[in-house]
């Protein structure tokens, strides 16, 4: 039973996402790894951090960093994953860069709120994909996709190389020039992030707000760009029939 009034970190564990990787990910690019190790080696001299397509095998205990915020009737959570490289499957290096931060955001609205339920916002390039439970729940201006859930853990399909997140292997992919598209597929390694959860507050990079690598590399979780409202404003959820 959910108890948001008790141990909040234990509450957060209920929502740790389950990630499904493309069967070719290890051959093509890389799986999640330890961001603290990278920061310890390169945080004072990012020019030394070069292209690194490792690891080529999934570590089921790889770190998944989390943070949360509490409102009177809502708890917001972000689960962060670090990859050493982003290798979007397109020629000429299109969309590729050193370092890659991805995340799954969860907004849980209590039974006492006006519209109780759960929203999942999956990082997807510079935007996000929305899934909701109940399925009629949404955010103003959004069209949600149906989630696949294991209780409150959402299943997420990770695109080959780019690591963009989707709620289904059949989701409409992000494409460049209508030719080069994200690729998702069943049958690859599966990562239950609950096995590697670590509070972002306890990491060696908790206060770092810069970029992780070159000027094309991503900003870290604590950069203002990655604020609570990066994916969507903190608007009250509505039901589909209320959107208009």
What's the pLDDT tens digit per position in 18-47? 999 999 999 999 999 999 999 999 999 999
pTM for the structure as a whole: 0.96
User: What does DSSP assign to residue 88?
Assistant: -
* pLDDT at position 105: 98
Is residue 69 in a domain? yes
Whether 210 is in a domain gets the answer: yes
Q: Taking 70 as the threshold, does the pLDDT of residue 243 lie above it?
A: no
Residue 3 falls inside a structural domain: no
- Whether 118 maps to a domain, the answer reads yes
- Binned at pLDDT 50, 70 and 90, residue 65 comes out as very high
Both structure tokens of 161: 């190389």
Higher confidence at residue 54 or residue 114?
Answer: 54
Q: Sign of dihedral through CA atoms 148, 184, 29, 41? A: negative
Percentage, residues of the chain above pLDDT 70: 98
Considering only CA atoms, which of 59, 61, 63, 64 is closest in space to residue 31?
A: 59
Rounded to whole angstroms, the Cα distance separating 193 from 60 reads 8
Domain assignment present for residue 2? The answer is no
* pLDDT score, position 8: 86
pLDDT greater than 70 at residue 244:
no
Q: Please check the confidence at residue 112 and state whether its pLDDT lies above 70.
A: yes
Question: Among 230, 221, 206, 207, which Cα is nearest to 100's?
Answer: 221
In the structure, what pLDDT confidence band is assigned to residue 242 with cuts at 50, 70 and 90? low
Residue 5 pLDDT exceeds 80: no
pLDDT for 231 beyond 50: yes
Range 197-222 average pLDDT: 97
- Mean pLDDT value across residues 200-217: 97
Query: What would the two tokens of residue 159 be?
Result: 């695109």
Q: Which domain holds residue 95?
A: 8-242
Residue 1 lies in a domain: no
CB atoms within 10 A of CB 127: 14
Backbone angles phi, psi at 93, to 5 degrees: 75, 15
pLDDT at residue 229 is higher than 60: yes
Q: Is the pLDDT of residue 63 over 70?
A: yes
Q: Average the pLDDT over 127-149 and give the result.
A: 96
How many domains are there within the chain?
A: 1
Q: What is the pLDDT of residue 76?
A: 97
In a domain, 166, yes or no: yes
Region 173-184 average pLDDT: 92
């Amino acid at each position: 039973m959910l108890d948001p009034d008790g141990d909040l970190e234990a509450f957060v564990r209920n929502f740790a996402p389950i990630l499904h990787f493309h069967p070719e990910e290890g051959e093509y690019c890389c799986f999640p790894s330890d961001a603290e190790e990278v920061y310890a080696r390169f945080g004072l001299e990012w020019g030394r951090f070069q292209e690194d397509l490792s690891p080529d095998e999934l570590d089921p205990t790889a770190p998944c960093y989390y943070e949360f915020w509490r409102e009177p009737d809502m708890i917001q959570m972000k689960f962060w994953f670090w990859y050493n490289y982003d290798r979007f499957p397109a020629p000429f290096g299109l969309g590729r860069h050193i370092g890659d931060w991805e995340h799954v955001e969860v907004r849980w609205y209590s039974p006492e709120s006006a519209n109780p339920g759960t929203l999942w916002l999956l990082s997807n390039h510079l935007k996000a994909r929305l899934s909701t439970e109940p399925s009629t729940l949404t955010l103003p201006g959004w069209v949600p996709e149906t989630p696949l859930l294991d209780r409150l853990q959402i299943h997420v399909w990770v695109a080959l190389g780019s690591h963009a997140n989707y709620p289904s292997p059949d989701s409409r992919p992000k494409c460049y020039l209508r030719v080069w598209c994200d690729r998702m597929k069943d049958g690859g390694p599966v990562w239950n992030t609950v096995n590697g959860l670590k509070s972002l507050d306890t990491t060696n990079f908790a206060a770092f707000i810069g970029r992780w690598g070159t000027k094309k590399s991503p900003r870290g979780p604590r950069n203002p760009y990655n604020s609570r409202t990066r994916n969507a404003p903190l608007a009250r959820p509505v039901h589909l029939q209320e959107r208009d």
